[in-house]
Amino acid sequence: MEAYRDQYASVFKNGRGVTILAISNDSPEALASWAADADFPVLFGSDPDGDAAEAFGIGRRGNGMPQSRAVVVVDPEGRVSFATSRFREIDPTAYEELAAAVAEVAPDFSQE
Protein backbone atom coordinates (compact mmCIF):
# COMPACT_ATOMS: atom_id res chain seq x y z
CA MET A 1 0.00 0.00 0.00
CA GLU A 2 2.96 2.33 0.36
CA ALA A 3 3.18 2.41 -3.41
CA TYR A 4 -0.41 3.72 -3.53
CA ARG A 5 0.61 6.58 -1.30
CA ASP A 6 3.85 7.24 -3.13
CA GLN A 7 2.13 7.35 -6.53
CA TYR A 8 -1.05 9.08 -5.38
CA ALA A 9 -0.24 12.36 -7.13
CA SER A 10 0.60 10.82 -10.49
CA VAL A 11 -1.83 7.90 -10.67
CA PHE A 12 -4.81 9.31 -8.79
CA LYS A 13 -4.23 13.03 -9.52
CA ASN A 14 -4.17 13.69 -5.78
CA GLY A 15 -7.78 12.48 -5.62
CA ARG A 16 -9.07 15.33 -7.77
CA GLY A 17 -12.05 14.15 -9.75
CA VAL A 18 -12.08 10.64 -8.31
CA THR A 19 -12.37 8.84 -5.00
CA ILE A 20 -10.13 5.89 -4.28
CA LEU A 21 -11.35 3.23 -1.87
CA ALA A 22 -9.06 0.46 -0.69
CA ILE A 23 -11.00 -2.48 0.72
CA SER A 24 -9.41 -5.00 3.03
CA ASN A 25 -10.62 -7.74 5.32
CA ASP A 26 -8.52 -6.24 8.13
CA SER A 27 -10.34 -4.81 11.16
CA PRO A 28 -11.39 -1.14 11.17
CA GLU A 29 -9.02 -0.49 14.07
CA ALA A 30 -6.05 -2.05 12.28
CA LEU A 31 -6.79 -0.14 9.08
CA ALA A 32 -7.24 3.18 10.90
CA SER A 33 -3.98 2.75 12.78
CA TRP A 34 -2.08 1.68 9.69
CA ALA A 35 -3.51 4.49 7.54
CA ALA A 36 -2.69 7.12 10.16
CA ASP A 37 0.82 5.82 10.82
CA ALA A 38 1.73 5.74 7.12
CA ASP A 39 -0.21 8.90 6.13
CA PHE A 40 -2.32 7.26 3.43
CA PRO A 41 -4.45 9.66 1.34
CA VAL A 42 -6.98 7.07 0.14
CA LEU A 43 -10.11 5.90 1.94
CA PHE A 44 -9.97 2.50 3.58
CA GLY A 45 -12.90 0.18 4.12
CA SER A 46 -12.93 -2.82 6.41
CA ASP A 47 -14.80 -5.75 4.90
CA PRO A 48 -14.25 -8.82 7.08
CA ASP A 49 -17.29 -10.67 5.71
CA GLY A 50 -16.76 -9.76 2.05
CA ASP A 51 -20.17 -8.12 1.65
CA ALA A 52 -18.77 -4.80 0.40
CA ALA A 53 -16.50 -6.56 -2.07
CA GLU A 54 -19.47 -8.42 -3.48
CA ALA A 55 -21.49 -5.19 -3.67
CA PHE A 56 -18.69 -3.60 -5.69
CA GLY A 57 -18.59 -6.63 -8.00
CA ILE A 58 -15.28 -7.87 -6.66
CA GLY A 59 -16.50 -11.05 -5.03
CA ARG A 60 -14.67 -13.64 -2.98
CA ARG A 61 -11.56 -15.71 -3.40
CA GLY A 62 -11.80 -19.30 -4.58
CA ASN A 63 -11.76 -20.50 -0.97
CA GLY A 64 -14.84 -18.40 -0.13
CA MET A 65 -12.90 -15.89 1.95
CA PRO A 66 -13.38 -12.16 1.27
CA GLN A 67 -11.03 -10.49 -1.14
CA SER A 68 -8.34 -8.37 0.44
CA ARG A 69 -6.51 -5.31 -0.78
CA ALA A 70 -9.10 -4.50 -3.40
CA VAL A 71 -9.12 -1.06 -5.03
CA VAL A 72 -12.22 0.78 -6.21
CA VAL A 73 -12.24 3.98 -8.26
CA VAL A 74 -15.38 6.10 -7.87
CA ASP A 75 -16.06 8.67 -10.58
CA PRO A 76 -17.13 12.29 -10.00
CA GLU A 77 -20.80 11.24 -10.22
CA GLY A 78 -20.39 8.71 -7.42
CA ARG A 79 -20.39 5.63 -9.66
CA VAL A 80 -17.91 2.80 -9.40
CA SER A 81 -15.90 3.02 -12.59
CA PHE A 82 -13.15 0.51 -11.86
CA ALA A 83 -12.63 -2.25 -9.32
CA THR A 84 -9.89 -4.79 -8.95
CA SER A 85 -10.10 -7.66 -6.52
CA ARG A 86 -6.44 -7.82 -5.58
CA PHE A 87 -4.18 -4.97 -6.46
CA ARG A 88 -0.73 -6.01 -7.67
CA GLU A 89 1.26 -3.30 -5.90
CA ILE A 90 4.66 -4.47 -7.13
CA ASP A 91 3.57 -4.74 -10.78
CA PRO A 92 4.10 -1.45 -12.66
CA THR A 93 1.37 -2.34 -15.17
CA ALA A 94 -1.16 -2.31 -12.32
CA TYR A 95 -0.51 1.41 -11.87
CA GLU A 96 -0.84 1.96 -15.60
CA GLU A 97 -4.28 0.27 -15.48
CA LEU A 98 -5.33 2.44 -12.55
CA ALA A 99 -4.04 5.63 -14.19
CA ALA A 100 -6.01 4.76 -17.35
CA ALA A 101 -9.16 4.13 -15.28
CA VAL A 102 -8.75 7.49 -13.52
CA ALA A 103 -8.06 9.33 -16.80
CA GLU A 104 -11.19 7.81 -18.32
CA VAL A 105 -13.52 9.15 -15.65
CA ALA A 106 -11.71 12.36 -14.73
CA PRO A 107 -10.06 13.53 -17.97
CA ASP A 108 -10.04 17.19 -16.91
CA PHE A 109 -7.73 16.30 -14.08
CA SER A 110 -5.58 13.71 -15.84
CA GLN A 111 -3.62 16.25 -17.85
CA GLU A 112 -2.39 18.21 -14.82
Q: In the chain, what are the domains?
A: 2-105 (3.40.30.10)
User: Cα(80)–Cα(78) distance, rounded to whole angstroms?
Assistant: 7
**Reported pTM:** 0.72
User: Cα(23)–Cα(33) distance, rounded to whole angstroms?
Assistant: 15
Tell me the H-state helices in 1-112. 2-6, 8-12, 28-38, 51-55, 92-105, 107-110
Q: Which whole number is the average pLDDT over 97-102? A: 82
Banded pLDDT at 110 (limits 50, 70, 90): very low
Label residue 87 exposed, middle or buried (CB < 10 Å: 0-12, 13-18, 19+).
Answer: buried
Q: Which whole number is the average pLDDT over 27-44? A: 82
Asked if 27 and 46 count as a contact pair (C-beta separation under 8 A), the reply is yes
Describe the strand order of the beta sheet including 80-84 as a list of residue ranges. 43-46, 19-24, 70-74, 80-84
Q: Say what percent of the chain tops pLDDT 90.
A: 2
Q: What angle do CA 60, 87, 2 make, to 5 degrees?
A: 130
